[in-house]
Structure 1
Amino acid sequence: MANIREIAGLAGVSVSTVSRVLNNHPYVRDEKRQAVHQAMERLDYHRNLPAIHLSKGTTNLLGVVLPSIEIPYFGNIVEGIAEEGLKHDLQLVLIQTNYNVEKELEALELLRGSLIDGLIFTSRAASLKIIKEYNPHGPIILCEDSDQTDLPSVSIPHEKAFMDGLDYLLTKGHTKIACTLGRKQGTNSHKRIKAYQTIMDKINQPVREQWIFDKCLTIEDGIHLTENWCRMTERPTAFLVTNDQVAAGMVLTAKEKGIHMPEELAILSFDNQQIAKAMHISTIDIPIKQMGKKAVQFIQNTEKRSKVSLPFQLIERATV
């Protein structure tokens, strides 16, 4: 393959001029820049990007760990990461894990091997103890409501948001309230369960374990949840729901079965996705894309705090 001396000779410029063009230096006259590009094309010259990155000690690759690309919440985080990453010439390496710890370890090994410049966990199954062992090998960012400070984190305050949602349902006259979770053992879910227990104690209601529904993530899960509700002997009158997809499945099924909302069944969900707007679902808005952008700012060291807590907003619509 041609080298920069051959390009310089064909273009009639100095080697330093070719180098400046290759590195997008602004102070090169247009006619010289054009001559260099024409010479590169004639010689079929392509830059050896891996070698360039190796010499600089960076890859311009950013690892993103996510359980599934099908769940809109994670897609929105990735969108925010991609938008902010573009500003810094970062390319994304997506690692879909389905909460498989071995897959998460593979992502961490990419960081140890300097094959990526940083790693963002949109959600995780691996323990903090394991993840912290890789901290010396590069920046690791958690998109969760974390209480530790060894690893930067960005999230909404989930316990506060869940308590506000429950308090809102109480103001609407509901005391028999159920809740759903995406993954009971997750950090954010622990905060939500704590809030649920606190509010139930506050109003002297028992914490019914059978009213805490786990693994609720999709529209299909919402459909099954409403069908299950119809079979209950004692029914909750309101649900605080994991996300808008689950809520949409519940609303669709309720309409099919002639269940009056919110009189017989009230639903408040999280995220404020487009589907919630289209179906007039009451929800708690989360700045998901902003979460992704903040995570990249941690990677780039433009965010100096160890933890960022983003705001949320309750959106009143037709289902409560």
Structure 2
Amino acid sequence: MKSINPDDFKVVGKIELAKIPTNLNINASDDDKEDKLDNVRDKLSEFQDVMYAHNRYGVLICLQGMDTSGKDSLIREVFKEFNPRGVVVHSFKTPSSTELEHDYLWRHYLALPEKGKFAIFNRTHYENVLVTRVHPEYILNENLPGIESVEDISSKFWDDRMVQINNFEKHVTQNGTIIMKFYFHMSKEEQRKRLLRRLENEEHHWKFSAGDLKERDRWGDYMKFYEEAINNTATENAPWYIIPSDDKDVARYIVAKIIWEEMQKHTDIKEPTLDEKVKINFAMYKDKLAKEN
């Protein structure tokens, strides 16, 4: 089985999505892929328990990708061994009326992970420079000063948002949040097949939306804006990883392996040691509890 090196997927310079493969053959059977994922997610689960006890860091996992790219199923498969108290998933939908009364990052600040926990953003603050660029009329719902019509939204507006997002991520990482951002790189042909399966399989009908086809018609725009967003916000403190996602099993394993390898760099995350005074009195505590019988 081909080894996975997280650095092979990390964005370290300007990228062109059209030149990056959406499929990766790791020379493994389905059973091999599942065994590898089992091993990594078990280690991640154990590590999360240690991180929870250490209580100094939170981890933010950001998942972005086109419809059907596999974000939901990845969350289910990669994090299913976690203690439920240690991971929280946030799926950001269209902003509510309350959220629109605040700046666009407000709801994301509220969803940041507590120390000792993982938070998963399934669709993220990047929707504010992706969907809103494809549909700039959505910006008008924010009631921003000086923005009365779509024509008022300049290229500088989007440049400023990229800077604001970088500042947001820099701020939270400097205060103990570890960020990893994953773009699920899927081919348009693979999306076509997955949408067809939703229509052909009655059990999956509920997943289908006519809106998926409307957004698919804007595929080229989305690729352009994804590319610009990644190129402008790939930083050392909040790196982007481009995950070939035509094969969901491979994508899950790659993401799990990257998270595991990146967390191993934080060598200070260890189980706290007991106070020496408590340890000295262990025999007394045990004796007290034993005598209660």
TM-score, scaled relative to structure 1:
0.28
Bigger relative CO (Cα 8 Å, ≥ 6 apart): 2
Q: Which has the higher helix share?
A: 2
TM-score, scaled relative to structure 2:
0.30
